[in-house]
Structure 1
């Protein structure tokens, strides 16, 4: 009765890699540093005993929102500002590109990161990709002459499908779609219309996959919303209620859904919503470690969170994860690499403990 456990994604990059990127080191010279960052990150993941690992998003050098279009010749740097930056000194790194003309095309697909990770991994690999609804923010409000929004969305969905298929064909254990713009939609449009349009767009893409393929696709939205709690730039009055986003999250037809629990003020409320809205074919991975808190959870704390979740969700559809990634942006220094992997180890060991307790009680 082993409860499955998976990471969300990002791990703080080694300081030498961060320094090289900020210094403008060219791609050819950067390649050895990137490969070493991936190697040591995967080795650290596997040392925790994790049954599923990832590259910690070491290779997404700009940000996890717009990595597929970095360097696109038909994009300008002055697009939508991602309201999650932690430093005024690096604002450009937290902007979406603005599409200037059609057609829309990815410049890289995430299977390239998977291929780099496979050179070092001995355990199954998970790959995170950005959602089509996040990339839809590239299209300017005023439109593009000769390239309608409808044409853009057709191209966007096709490119997203291509990326997921290439990751699955490359042997990804799971492809996780990051629905990072979900909290943003709630804040920009309290009516829910924008959020509904994002859900619809993501489902347009997921409908292109079979039931068996969707079982290998997951969906995650960070509980951190727009600003990390307590961090520089945190908007304490933003009023983002993560639990209110969950019903819409479960409408997206992914086979796995990754939700935050460890850092939520009312975990039982979150679990009740998950119980009531999760589809029968969806596995719910609950967050058992909180990356916004530098304190490392004990394995018993992790197990207790899973035992609580099992009361609401049962065991057959339950999984464990982290509430969010540990470092989605380069200047995100909420936790160190050492702390991040200590939390991963606690997640793994706590999941084993909870599985043992539940098996004995069965």
Structure 2
């Protein structure tokens, strides 16, 4: 199969890990016990992804508390009353608020990569949070003695260091999760916030060589948490032209859950930069029904009517459990969808003769 296919990132945590996390939070399990449970969950996740035929795997984000805030977990200068992210079903997630500078990551994603590579027999992809998402930690009314520009300088440096550590640690590709891109157009239809996000992310991406950027990707989706989204009602046409200005070599675009994929693909084709590969979403993690390989094949063939086959790949629309406490999708369903994606992509490759 020459059409590449990759997971996005998160997989529902194992029941044993969820139990260990609860025990750790209550003080019944020490740090070493939690780390052991995380390692077992990573090993099981990678084994099951490989059994499903995935040519590239992730650690399933088993050890991340969430896809967004893991770099600042435990930071002593955070308050809990930050930006609220509303979802369509009425539930919300809330980011922390930075109360003092300087911003420093408490940990980098290369530690997850190293743990995954110990168990994997195939290349490992590492997801990291985009600096634009963490820029939301800075409060609108500022921080005394720590101006926003100083914060953005620190954030860009921390984000660059994390990406470099993952590249140097042997990541097949480093994926920036940029789900706040589409959400920003809901919060600010003028596009001003989105422009700031793109500028900040490019401020980091431009520090890498062309060869390095070929191993860096950007993921976009309308969010996926507790079987709900935060911005599926926002027209992709407002996001994609700006998204494709990001200096990355790969783009992972949620598409399976879009009501009009041809419209989205036409926008991508119109704004597709040179030497960029687009991975289109062919499975919907929010839909409990498992796609058939034939459905996946047909979604790929639809994409191939708009995009050159040699610049096309497939992925899941989103991670299956971006927040650790999200058990709305079972592990069995997630791995079944991965298998359908892999098998359907192979069917499409055969049909396209690539």
1:197 lines up with 2:196 in the alignment? yes
**Which residues in structure 2 correspond to 1:285-304 (within 5 Å)?**
285-304=279-298
Give SS of 2:59's match: coil
Q: Give, in whole Å, the separation in 2 of the partners of 1:351 and 1:163.
A: 31
Change (3 A) 1:343 1:239: closer
Change beyond 3 A, Cα 1:180–1:27: farther
Residue number in structure 2 paired with 1:139: 138
Inter-CA distance 29–86: structure 2 relative to 1 (3 Å threshold): farther
Structure-2 residue corresponding to 1:28: 32
2: CA distance, partners of 1:351 / 1:223: 23
Q: Distance in 2 between matches of 1:228 and 1:255?
A: 31
Conserved? CA contact 1:250–1:277, under 8 Å: yes
Q: Alpha-carbon deviation of 1:242?
A: 3.6
Q: 1:275 aligns with which of 269, 277, 298?
A: 269
Distance in 2 (alpha carbons) for counterparts of 1:222 and 1:15: 27
Aligned counterpart, 2:54? 50
Matching residue of 2:98: 99
Q: What is the DSSP-based 3-state SS (H/G/I as helix, E as strand, rest coil) of the residue aligned with 1:261?
A: coil
Cross-structure match for 2:168: 169
Task: Normalising by structure 1, report the TM-score.
Answer: 0.92
Could you report, residue by residue, the CA deviation over 1:122-147 in whole angstroms, capped at 9, with x for unpaired residues? 10000000010100011111111111
Aligned: 1:76 with 2:79: yes
Q: After superposition, what is the alpha-carbon deviation per residue over 1:126-177, rounded to whole angstroms, capped at 9, x for unaligned?
A: 0000010100011111111111111110010010000000000000000000
For the residue of structure 1 that corresponds to 2:86, the secondary structure is coil
Which ranges of structure 2 fall in alignment gaps of 5 or more residues?
none
- CA distance in structure 1 between the partners assigned to 2:226 and 2:330 by the alignment: 15
Q: RMSD value over aligned CA atoms?
A: 2.0
Greater Cα offset, 15-24 or 190-199? 15-24
1:87–1:122 CA distance, 2 compared to 1 (3 A)? farther
Gaps of 5+ in 1: none
Q: TM-score, normalised by structure 2?
A: 0.94
How far off its partner does 1:239 sit?
3.5
Q: 2:239 aligns with which of 241, 245, 258?
A: 245
Task: Provide the rounded CA distance (Å) in 1 between the counterparts of 2:295 and 2:88.
Answer: 31
